[in-house]
Structure 1
Amino acid sequence: MAGPLSGTARRPAGGPAGGASARRPVRPALSAVLRTGGLLALLARRMLLLAVLLAAVFTAVELLPGDAATATAERGESAADLAQRRHLLGLDRPVLTRFTDWMTGLPTGDLGTSAHGESVAGLLSRPFPNTLLLGGLALLVTLVVSLALGCWAALRPGGKADRAISSTATGVLALPEFVVAVALVLVFALWADWLPAVTLTGADGSPASWRMLVLPVLALAIPQTGWNLRIVRAALADEAKAPHVETAVLDGLPRHRILTHHLLPGALPTIAAGLATSTGMLLGGAVVVETIFNYPGVGSVLAGAVTDRDSPVIAGVVALTGAVITGVLLLADLVRAWASGGRI
């Protein structure tokens, strides 16, 4: 990808000085976005989308064969015992009524009761922070590596490094998380014996050592790094065509200053949107990765809840995960609004 950074042109004599002419257009203050009420409207749309998703979860569990009463029944229970269990779990009520009752408790943090009589909030209080830790570290690795390699490629457009990075990113993003996880276990745990293949937990239910986080984090981050690396590179290439960037090149500004002061600010909304999309994919992929590495996250809880047809637990996981993704998407929307003149 050739672009302005690949040239060595200088502004002809008599042209504008390198100060004002090379400056990037100033963006409006974010407070203008907040004053318009657009933030509340955007948040309302996100919350409505989350509510629709939760309704779909309840409906999907209802369509599965069997129910929580039969799935958790002990051997030899009679039909009367099953009927009594269904009544205790509220399964004899319409699904819409059960969903409405569950949603009314959601604002207070009440996620309902599981099919085994446990509080869903208490059931998720330990594994969900572990999943957030795993996903957060993977997102951080994705951000740092994709930005570093994307900027490196953008400084030498069309060069060997640019071609190698782009080709590698294309191959990496096509790999599913479980394939990457198995390969990492094979190389670093079985062959090299550098890192543990399974996760052991401490007394507080979290991983006993930071070394046990390395392979799960890499298994999640590697595919998303390939995806975001291509986004960063494409965003920087598009921004390099902007007039203020071409002016900065003609003014003879150093490449690193053009990158940090002219390319990255303009590419930031696209990069933020890519990372926000990766948040959902990281949390979704964490379910598979946690199973492979025996990681103490919500993956095992969710798998058991699906087996038990436990709607409150499944919806609780979706609600917490959806709230995190909604927050990240909202942040990305604010970045886009700031960069586009306050329009959400």
Structure 2
Amino acid sequence: MAGGLTPRARRVMLVPGRIAVLAAKRALPLVALLALVFATVELLPGDAATATAGRGESAADLERRRLLLGLDRPVLERFWDWMSGLPSGDLGTSARGEPVARLLGGAFPGTLTLGGLALLLTATCSLALGCWAALRPGGLVDRAVSGSATAVLALPEFVVAVALVLVFSLWTGWLPAVTITGADGSPASWRMLVLPVLALTIPQTGWNTRIVRAALADEARAPHVETAVLDGLPPHRVLTRHVLPGALPTITAGLATSTGMLLGGAVVVETLFNHPGIGSVLAGAVTDRDTPVVAGVTALTGAVISGVLLLADAVRDLMSGGRR
């Protein structure tokens, strides 16, 4: 039966196996990163018992708190116990007694909303700009798009955020500079999402526009594209039907890589705009020397980034004929 399958069908059947291997390979660096997080928090001055202690607590009270938090145990033992709970979704308990999974469950959707909107807008803008520039290689639009993309990709998110606040909040008053949450903890208005999303989108649009333009330029040199040009097809049809499909695996990989940058940048942007998300949770956890919370944030963001990268790998496998 397998011998009667088409090449494409055989490629589809092989994709799950390759994805499983890639998932295992991506899991190992994540485990190493989590171990590094435990070690790094352990090296910070003070500990969770001291950082979360109330006023007037005696040395005996602090010692009892350390025993309660398990800080008397070796860090490797605590790391192993925390890792053993991951398969069941148990991220441990914070230094203030709240389950980490519940704490992050209330904050992470806000970060995902911010990052997801920024990723969608980044994909749309970078594809549009890259294709626009590719229609006339070497022309004025191509040079302008490439130059602008190079300029904005070098800008950190906090610099873009400050500039956006100056222009759209302080000078014009069109958009709010901070996020005010409603009764459910989410932003009270969609307008409060605009500036944080733009602060994340602008640098990543510059990065991905360059990737799109380079991928289209590489694919434009393929023999079948040159044949389509010699056949007299209009430039926009050559681009959409012959160049863009072949460049999509590279473009997808670039957008997947941006996921990690967007989630990392979201922590800074959330702090600047007072947006509800893991940024404030992470900042508080570092202040409290709260290792389970810091590790939980790392594990959750790492899982999301790994999932997006695996999805991009699957798309690249299907569209590039399974070749590496």
Give TM class, smaller chain.
over 0.9
Distance 1:69 1:101, change over 3 A: same
Out of 280, 304, 307, the position equivalent to 1:300 is: 280
Distance, in Å, in 1 between the alignment partners of 2:278 and 2:20 is 31
Partner SS, residue 8 of structure 2: coil
Q: TM-score, normalised by structure 2?
A: 0.95
**Cross-structure match for 2:305:** 325
Q: Which amino acid aligns with 2:322?
A: G
Q: CA deviation at 1:196?
A: 0.6
Q: State the Cα distance separating 1:256 from its structure 2 match.
A: 1.7
Residues 275 and 27 of structure 1: CA distance in aligned 2, closer, same or farther (over 3 Å):
farther
Q: Distance in 2 between matches of 1:117 and 1:209?
A: 32
Higher normalized helix content (fraction of residues): 2
2:150: which partner in 1? 170
Q: Could you say which structure has the larger radius of gyration?
A: 1
The alignment status of 1:56 with 2:12, answered yes or no, reads no
- Residue by residue over 1:16-47, the C-alpha shift from the partner in whole angstroms, topping out at 9 and shown as x without a partner, is xxxxxxxxxx9834513336x22211111122
TM-score (norm 1): 0.90
Matched with 2:57 is: 77
Identical columns (%):
77
**Aligned residue type for 1:125:** G
Cα distance in 2 between the residues matched to 1:87 and 1:116 = 14
Aligned to 2:14: 33
Report which structure shows greater RCO (CA 8 Å, sep ≥6). 1
Paired residue for 1:21?
Answer: none
Are residue 185 (structure 1) and residue 151 (structure 2) matched? no
Say whether residues 1:140 and 2:120 are aligned partners: yes
In the TM superposition, residue 316 of structure 1 has moved relative to its aligned partner by 0.8
Alignment RMSD, CA only? 1.4
Residue correspondences, number:
318
Question: In the alignment, what sits opposite 1:5?
Answer: none
Secondary structure of the structure 2 residue equivalent to 1:195: coil
Which residue is 1:338 aligned to? 318
Match of 1:150 in 2: 130
- Separation in 2, partners of 1:300, 1:55: 22
Distance in 1 separating the partners of 2:323 and 2:14 = 7
Deviations 1:159-181 (A, max 9, x none): 11111111111110111100000
The 5-angstrom pairing of residues 160-309 of structure 1 reads: 160-309=140-289
Structure 1 distance, partners of 2:169, 2:273, is 11
The answer as to 2:101 corresponding to 1:101 is no
Q: For structure 2, which runs of at least 5 residues remain unmatched after alignment?
A: 1-5
Contact preservation (8 Å) 1:269, 1:336: yes
